[in-house]
Structure formats: C-alpha cells, structure tokens
A and B are shown apart, each in its own frame.
Chain A
Amino acid sequence: MEKLKDAFDFSDFSRSERIGFIIFTIFLFIFPWLGVSSFAKTVMIQFMLFSLFGMGWNTIGGYGGQVELGKAQYVGIGAYTVALMMVWWKVPFWISMPIGVLIALGYSFIIGYPLFRLKGHYFAIATICTSLVLKDIFDNWALVGAAKGIELPIHDHPDFLYMQFKSDTYYYYFIMALFYIAIFYMNWFRKSKLGYQLRMIKDDEDAAESLGIDIRWCKIKAYSIASAFVAVGGGFMAVYNLYIDPASVMELSLSIKIALMAMLGGAASMWGPIIGAAFLVPLDRFLGSWLGGHKGLTGIDYMIYAMLIMIVSAYQPRGIWGIIEDLRKRGK
C-alpha cells in the first residue's frame, strides 16, 4: 500500500513541476488528434520508447552511478523473445513479452554477478563487451535469422492479442501507457530503500558498506530492474516495427544512445531521461534523414553525440535538469 502511495505521490516536487507534468500529460493524450502527420506520431512514439529506456537505465546508471553501456542486449532479448515466440509458436504478445522480461531478468543476474566485481572504467568497458558478444552470437545464429533478422507475420485485421494494428495511434497509446507505468515506477523507486542505498553507493562506497549495504547485490538488483525495463521496450519494438535484426535492437549505438539521453537530460533525476529523449530523439531523426542524403557524412551524428556528452560532463554533470535546477536556485 505504501508503495502504491509513493508511486502516485508527487508532492515533493515543486508546484511548477507538477503543473508542467499535468500539462505535458494532457498534451500527450490529445497529440494524435491534433491533425499531426504520421511522421510526427512516429517521432512521439520513439520519444516515449526512449524515455522508457532512459528511465530504466537511470536506476543503475543514474541513481547507482554506474556507467552502464550495454542496455541494447536486453532490448534485443525482449524483442527477440516476442518475435521468435510469435513466429515459432504463435504465442500472443501478452504472454511472450513478460517471458522476455523474465529472460532479461535471469540473464541480467547471470551477467551482473561477474560484471559487478568490476568498478569504474573497467565496468563500463565490460558492459560494452557483453553487449557486443550477444550481438555477435545473434548475427551468426541461423536459427534466429542471423544478421538477416526476423519478420513478424502480418495479420490482416487488428489483433489486440498480438498487438497488431494498422494505425499508429494504437501503438501511440500503448507506449504511452508503458511510459506512464515507468514514470510511476520510478517515482516509487527513487523513494525506495534500494533507491536511497544506490545513491549512497554512488556517493561513497566505503560508507555505504559501513551502513550494512551489500554493494554488489544492490547494483545487481538495480541492473536487473533496468534490464527488465528495456526488455519491455524491446518487446514493443518487435510488434511495432514487425521486423527486427541484431543491427536494430542490439547495436552498441543503441546502448550508447540510451545512456546518453539519460545523462544529457540529467542522470539520477526523475525528469532527466524524459528531457534527454525529448532533445535527442528528434535530433537523431533529423540527423538520420539528413545524413541519408549525404553519404560521406555518416558518423557525424556520433561526433555530435560525443561532443554533447563532453559538454554536459564538463559544464554540468547533472545534465539539462541540473541546469534548470541551478537557474531556479539562482532565481530565488
């Protein structure tokens, strides 16, 4: 009960934040009816999807302060579980998606156990490596379509069981529901015992240990929560795109984008990942289409991301949200 109350209790946010949140919610609700193009809807769906990823990452990466750069492998696990179970056994989304989450959880415990023996840069590099390994396996594994990927069978009528719809609007509201579940979860999480313990670990590991915190176990728990989050998003990607391959759901660049969005917006804050996604998703889209016409410029998008991350970490490690908070403090 207390948990539920915490999830829906935003009273410790400032008045302007709460009002902003309500306006933002109304806006999201009516957005599909504003006569917007289907492209705009797609961008919005991406925005909410990446916010979901970023919020998941924020548990271990933000609150726990661990530079985690391997989230894509769990997107992949979520996506592949949904896609394969549907292709092989016609399993509905509502069963395969939770199974994907469970597999992601199990896998994250197995990976997390050795991973969190490492600290700092070594940890960051190791997370990248684990992700690369999984992508390599899927790239070469004929049974799961190898690098060609898999196509989901397209139903000719809307099907709620398999989450297949003609109109993007259905997907829009579905990802919006997931997005809000994530927000409420994070609102609980940041006030939970684990949330506090992770912040202590981020501050001072020796002190955390002296207060009875099993550091490694806490990190593994947060890592698994993050993995479960992104696996949900992965499952969504499978039914939304109807086609997945290792390059789209397991690529290192996806891992980096997830971390980057949260850091840019403001790691370890409630709104950071959402703000970050609101900036980077449109930018990513824009750069993507622009670069499509300029062959020689591929890679420029990553240079821009790299620059952004350098500017953020040098100027304000708490990201855009940190800048907003500073401005507010100065205003008082």
Chain B
Amino acid sequence: MAFLDVENVVKDFGGLVANNDISFQIEKNEIVGLIGPNGAGKTTLFNCIVGYYKPDKGKIRFKGKDITGFKPFQTSREGIGRTFQIMKVTTGLTVHENVMVGAFLRTEKRAEADKEASEIIEFLGLSHIKDYHINELPIAIQRKVGLARALATKPELLMLDEVASGLNHKETEEMVELLKRLNVEKHITIFLIEHIMEMVMTVSGRVIVLDSGIKIAEGPPEDIVKNPEVIKAYLGERYAKGK
C-alpha cells in the first residue's frame, strides 16, 4: 500500500483538461518532484489532492484511506500540509501568529501553540521577522512563512508549490538543505512543484513530469533530464516563448 496513491485523476475546467488521467504513487519518506512547463496542471493536481478541487474522475488514497472529495481542512487534519504558489498578502496576523494558527490544529492550549510556533520559526531561521505581517515581507520570505505554518500542523506529507522560486542561488541551496533535514530528521514525506531545475534534481529522489495535463515521464532525476519527451516539452515551451 502506497503512502499517497493517485489513481486516474481527471480535472476538466469546462473543456480545458488540466489533469488528464494522472496516476502515480509516493512512498513514505520519499522526496518527489513535480515539474512541467507553465500551465501543465501541477498546481491543479495539488489542489485535487488536498481538496480545493474535486477531481471529475479518479481516486486519491492517503495512508490507505480514500480521501477523494475531502475538503482541504479534512486533508490537513489527515496529515497533508501544503503551501501556496501565491500567498495572499495579509495585514492581520503576524508571522508568529500565522504559525500559531497552524499549531492550534494539534492542540487546544495557547501556551503549547505558542511554543511550537517559536520552535518552528527558529528552525526555519525566521525569528528576526516573527512580528512582521505578511504584507511587509518579500515574496520569497512570504513563501517560507507559508512553509512554517504548514509545518506547524505536523504534516506527514508536505506538498510545496514553488517554495524556492524567487530565491537566489545560496538561498536555494539552504532550502534544499532544509527540505532534506525535514525529510531525514522529522520523517516528513515531501512532494514539491519546482521550476528551478537544479533544485528539483538535487533534492528529489524521483521526478514526475506533467505537460498539458498529461503525465509524460516519471523516474530518477538523472533519467528525466535525458528523457526526449521531457526535453521536447521544455524546448517546445522555450521556442514558443521566443516567438
């Protein structure tokens, strides 16, 4: 039994099939990358898994449990944490309070949530901005806050939507280190969407490639970079952009 089992998922936006019959599995403790050109359907696939969208067809099982059609708050309670590609720029809660809200999922006590939040913020190196509001932070840091509050829900599976975009080379390397630590020390299975190729390739044990809603390849990173289908998908995109 796979940890996460996605089976023949279809998501059709009235003619535009964003996910076309997608199947794959993720085992416990893996780090799996999800790549593909813009508009390939990566975020849509995430949203189908965590429940922002209900798949038109197909099944999603998490730890053996059928979670198809679960609401996002339910999948979160089951142990799936996620970050957003685009964070809403909010002015209400501070960074620390954001993370506390995440921690409140597993405790009723404010003191515990508070302590938990401080630890995670420390772990992610965000202590210096803990009293800021999200609107006061650069986008790359905002995403890190998203990661922090998702972590606070104590997820077993963490799904990251372009958490490293906007980071410079050094920051990207730090993010890779961080994800590896989460994976090894906290036993969190990671499923990440990423545009930065070098990052996906170094961090993931396995990569899944989407193009126009279809899964075109799956395998270890070194095979994926040589895969002609993948090269075509990416080159095609580059040519299109050149026009």
Contacts and interface: CB of A to CB of B under 8 A. Distances in A.
Interface of A: 2, 6, 191-193, 196-197, 199-200, 202-204, 206-215, 268
Given A196-B101, A206-B88, A215 B111 contact: no
B219 interface: no
B88 A207 contact: yes
Interface string B61-92: 00000000001110011000110100110111
Given A6-B110, A203-B88, A206-B88, A212 B150 contact: no
B92 A212 contact: no
Contact of B76 (A199, A202, A211): A211
Nearest to A65: B92
Main secondary structure of the interface of A (DSSP, over half): helix
Interface residues of B, number: 33
A196 B153 contact: no
5 contacts: A196-B113, A197-B104, A199-B92, A203-B88, A211-B153
Interface of B: 50, 52, 71-73, 76-77, 81-82, 84, 87-88, 90-93, 97-98, 100-102, 104-105, 108-111, 113, 146, 149-150, 152-153
B102 A211 contact: yes
A199 B97 contact: yes
B110 A211 contact: no
Contacts, number: 79
A199 B90 CA distance: 11
B76 A209 contact: yes
Contacts of B105: 211-213
B93 A209 contact: no
B73 A2 contact: no
A210 B76 contact: yes
Nearest to B78: A212
Contacts of A215: 73
Given A209-B73, A210-B50, A212-B153, A200 B109 contact: no
Contact of A208 (B50, B87, B101, B150): B101
A121 to B, nearest CB: 19
A204 B88 contact: yes
Contacts of B91: 203
A168 to B, nearest CB: 40
